[in-house]
Structure 1
């Protein structure tokens, strides 16, 4: 049985969920098992004291079966809605049993799993920080369609429930208790069951708050003018955040508010209809594909060489205590790894260590003895890297992996500085390191499989997401993101209003406007990368494209506008005030620039997708999943799209090629689709 039914001599029934597979999920097996379990309990209702609902798995319940959800289309939507309504009906029967039903939550309960718990009269959770509770459906472009919106709104009120629902927050047990979504914490598995049983005995006939006569949603009172002014403003506030490209938060808001104004069972119907609208839409398909299937494949070692034993880093040496080096040291120490942070002076190293007891600051290579991993994070200067790498290699363990955090310099060239290039690899972290979850692993020409596997294991050990790419200038992320920034500067040169460029970029779902990013990375660095590329490889300069962008950058730098760190760039940075676009950029503006808003948006998104295709063609990228996940988590490509290659899939390959040809004819050959992309489009083959 997928749900074990056990009744003891005190009349307490324990329902233990134990689906086939590693986790409990909402699928046909669950549907049948829960239907049978509810019927069994109803048959003995008058003879029992109550029900404890728990799990035989490590987790309580994992949620909806996404393999099923991605197959829902407008054609089979009525069938999917019927299935959903039936599952909700089972939970409704459970909560209206007339006997106490307690969720004994022994592990994470997310999505559908937490919706099951919400249908219980009382929720006790094991006080373990590894446990996560909540409704993260919005992060996959969905809403909680198993009663989650309806019950959370009635449990907490519209305003407290909305952030949990719209942002898909996952809470640890202590926070869940504070938020009021669970009732009690248990110290052990035994205590969990004991508390559940005690509550049953003390509450023989509980009724859910929303089933009590005269119940109203806590913060929605009919006729209260404050409520209506708040609800009138909410969609506008939300639109400012989502820019209209994320339908899930908008549908959650609608389901929450509309549901709050009607009775419970009608609210469930409203929620179900909005759920089906989302699950049949393209955005949910994009987000589930990338943030669930492709991300899980990466986490499970899809890009890791097979046949190499798993490894753990015990001591890491970080060279350079600037912002990147300090961040790498911090996340490594947090993962329980012994860290040595080296800089030219002890003072600089100590500043970088920021009082963290897990980090030993030093100015001496001798302290790197015993390190099984060295990560160089000094300035983006080949001579400096060539100097610090061999000295660190000599001090570390003989078989230590030596890595560089370079964001643009080819790894194969840097590997020449060390004795054994098979042990050399790129580990490209993103700023700020503690917040950014991606690490781009770059394999040089001589990097061994063992070195790659050890680097991959380290990235997982520190809780980050690894993508694996082959060597090239700028690799995948810096190279592709560079096209976004230079395309924007190119538009400034053409006379497009800078504010229009920034606003359209954010409206399209990009994390940060390209001119703001240009200031962050500094205008001088962009010029240095261009110069280094030209110096190293005249042919390789093609990556830069036919951009008039560099003339604008040169002019601004000549005037001392080097970027944010220099106090001025495309933006002004008033002390203690908010940054704003430099009015002096008006000199580039032209009333007849003739670039429509749609063209601005497409130029910014298409240029990145086209560069990704080139990276795939050249073998820089090893998988479609690495491309999509890397683009969203590495450089903030519009998450609603599912990433750069999924953007092409959802646009339609033939339509994308046609639009790219228009952009190439109008704005330059850098938009011309590759032969491989035309071939794919002709065959109707998606990425």
Structure 2
């Protein structure tokens, strides 16, 4: 069966129905390319064609490029890959320039290559579907639109309007597409969609793209026009400030767009193909496709969920503690239509927690993203209380109180009496071992860790922690709940700090160690940003609060001493101690930490940090390596120790939980793409210079010996 079904109706209109065999969605794979070749041959052999309509036999119009194919493109096959892309684009260009009307009948979402196919058409009609999305999100996977998307979007919208859609990969709905002039008409049903497409073909017997009409000018002007030239004079510097040089895709998109705007369409398409080949055969796109596409899809399909356990849905969720975390969890739960009981020690405290949801929802209403009725429905789902008896009938209770084992034990014992039979009791702890917290529960099998990240409304990851006695049924329910509220679950085994808090700690500590070694704080922060971390370690330490870090370190030290072990103090511990006890600087919430926070002004590094400054000749690359290796090696240690059970959870968790450099594809993929043998040599060098935190785990040596990747 062909991926494009060719049908010519009584009006001599060719209807091309996209229907990729063996797939639930249409993609630009080998089947499509072969079918396109056959289709163009048929079109060329027939002079009596009044017009062409593209439609889809799938639930969506077209999903885009085949990422399974793209991830296999290598530098040695660059010429072959480039020729394949050029050949496909030439066939689409033939359809576009034949001189007869070409219509895209969009029955749903068209992203990436699907939107590029739609852009090849002279007229685009979309089904009135609020869920339909259009756009070119390739940049989010380290790629650029290589099927003509850059060339056509720039010619239709102009450079300035096309840039955010291309370089940020913004997706948009039917209304936005209409306002941009990219969708020309809408239809209420698939039948009307086809009828309108046929009617437009008949009404426009001779048709071509607006930019193929002689004398057409790109909206806003070409790169040489004064207004655009002025914008382009600063755009590359602004872009580099955002990417820190870690992401070649946005830079390649800008270059292809600007260069393409100065030449004819066909030359512009070739320029685009060259940049696309450069990115597709490069390592960074492979890192990002592997994690952001394959990894996330594996998690969505339940890779770490126990098999053969029926799907479950929470109906009533109790949340203990209405502080920032509890309030955030309440919002995330209620906004998905689940009843919430938000409990605190006083009704005033609980109401304050509910007010957080009101604030977030009001903002959406003011932006026109939510109706007043929907806001009120969500708020009505949050019941505030100071009485534990109101938790009666909850099938899941999450405690989100302060990181104190005694307090957590007390609220657990009070609340779990009101759980339904086989209900789940969860702790939102970020560091305390779940097996120890579970001892307060009357049923350890039903006890689990659900570690949310702050702010909950923005952070997608939830780290699910299995205690020693947590049952598979409880794990499956926790996994299902996390997905029910639209978050991404990773599953880890129990230990102090679990995976994310533990590895995150190594990043912050490395920054503090560098400060203790005499490195200028601004250099430390910049090196972290150039490594690809979203924020520098000193800024993050301020956000977390220095007192909390000191408390966690003291608790960890106490726990180790109880087992007859010791946690030696480091330069990082000394820095924290001095900041708190010598200078009274406890972090952002206290108004002063490594940064000053002037009221109404921009934060700036505290001048007093020069206390630690001394001559040091450490290079920026050495600091970048320290930041990335200290986290990657500890992530590998987590895998070796069984804290992590899968590479996918390690990669996804490191990016979405601790902000590990996304260009790498995650902390474990960083080692893979570095080359495991080279990574071992680098780890050994760092260990010799800086200590055993850089010691290569045995698992790294084993993988090298076995000739396997992590």
* Fold similarity call, TM over 0.5: yes
Does residue 674 (structure 1) correspond to residue 676 (structure 2)? The answer is no
How is 1:2-17 mapped onto 2 (pairs within 5 angstroms)? Answer: 2-17=3-18
Asked whether 1:574 is paired with 2:575, we answer: no
Q: How does 1:364-513 map to 2 (within 5 A)?
A: 364-513=387-536
What pairs with 1:107-122 in structure 2 (closer than 5 Å)?
Answer: 107-122=108-123
Determine helix, strand or coil for the equivalent of 1:306: coil
Of 521, 531, 549 in structure 1, the residue corresponding to residue 572 of structure 2 is 549
CA distance in structure 2 between the partners assigned to 1:329 and 1:569 by the alignment: 30
Aligned partners of 2:173 and 2:320: how far apart in 1? 35
1:154-205 per-position Cα deviation (integer Å, ceiling 9, x unaligned): 1100111111111111222222323333223333333322332332233222
TM-score, length-scaled by structure 2: 0.94
**Does the CA-based 8 Å contact 1:17-1:55 persist in structure 2?**
yes
For residue 372 of structure 1, give the secondary structure of its aligned residue in structure 2. strand
Aligned to 1:188: 189
Q: Are 2:520 and 1:518 aligned?
A: no
**What is the aligned-residue RMSD (CA, Å)?**
1.7
Separation (CA, whole Å) in 1 of partners of 2:18 and 2:662: 34
Q: In structure 1, what is the equivalent of residue 133 of structure 2?
A: 132
Q: Is the 8 A contact 1:534 1:541 kept in 2?
A: no
- Structure 1 stretch displaced more, 488-497 or 30-39: 30-39
Residue 626 of structure 2 corresponds to residue 603 of structure 1? yes
Q: Which moved more, 1:60-69 or 1:611-620?
A: 60-69
Q: Distance in 2 between matches of 1:482 and 1:619?
A: 19
1:171 matched to 2:211: no
Question: Which residue is equivalent to 2:269?
Answer: 268
Aligned to 1:27: 29
CA distance in 1, matches of 2:181, 2:563: 58
Unaligned runs of 5+ in 2: 359-378
Following superposition, the deviation at residue 365 of structure 1 comes to 1.7
Which SS does the other structure have where 2:76 is aligned? coil
**CA distance 1:546–1:678, shift in 2 (3 Å):** farther
For the Cα contact (< 8 Å) 1:162–1:253, is it kept in 2? yes
Alpha-carbon distance in structure 2 between the residues aligned to 1:265 and 1:44: 24
Task: Assess, with a 3 A threshold, how the Cα gap between structure 1 residues 380 and 87 changes in structure 2: closer, same or farther.
Answer: same
TM-aligned CA distance change 1:599 to 1:544, over 3 Å? farther
Residue 230 of structure 2 is matched in structure 1 by 229
Asked whether the 8 Å contact 2:137–2:166 carries over to 1, the reply is: yes
| 1:441-490 Cα shifts (integer Å, max 9, x gaps) | 11111111111111111111111111111011110000000000011111
Does the CA-based 8 Å contact 2:651-2:666 persist in structure 1? Answer: yes
Q: Is the 8 A contact 1:102 1:121 kept in 2?
A: yes
CA contact (8 A) 1:441 1:468 kept: yes
Q: Deviations over 1:30-89 (max 9, x none)?
A: 0111222233344445343x2221111112111111111111112111111111111111
Gaps of 5+ in 1: none
Aligned to 1:560: 584
38, 41, 62: which is aligned to 1:39? 41
Greater displacement, 363-372 / 378-387: 363-372
Contact 1:105 1:126 in 2 (8 A): yes
Aligned residue number for residue 361 of structure 2: none
Range moving further from structure 2, 438-447 or 672-681: 672-681
Question: For 1:483-504, what per-residue CA distance to the aligned partner results, in whole angstroms no more than 9, with x for missing partners?
Answer: 0001111111111111100011
Contact 1:63-1:112 within 8 A present in 2 as well: yes
The residue number in structure 2 matching 1:99 is: 100
Do the aligned residues in 2 keep the contact of 1:45 with 1:97 (CA within 8 Å)?
no
Q: Which moved more, 1:38-47 or 1:421-430?
A: 38-47
Q: Which residue of 1 aligns with 2:674?
A: 651
Match in the other structure for 1:341: 342
More divergent stretch after superposition (495-504 vs 340-349): 340-349
Give the number of aligned pairs: 685
> What's the counterpart of residue 296 of structure 2?
295
- Residue 150 of structure 2 is aligned to residue 149 of structure 1: yes
**Counterpart contact for 1:42–1:97, Cα < 8 Å:** no
Counterpart pick for 2:555 among 532, 544, 550: 532
Kindly provide the CA deviation profile for residues 342-374 of structure 1, in whole angstroms up to 9, marking residues without a partner as x: 111112212222242332222222222222111
Comparing 663-672 and 606-615, the one that deviates more: 663-672
1:363 aligns with 2:386: yes
Provide the residue aligned with 1:584 in structure 2. 608
Distance 1:279 1:553, change over 3 A: same
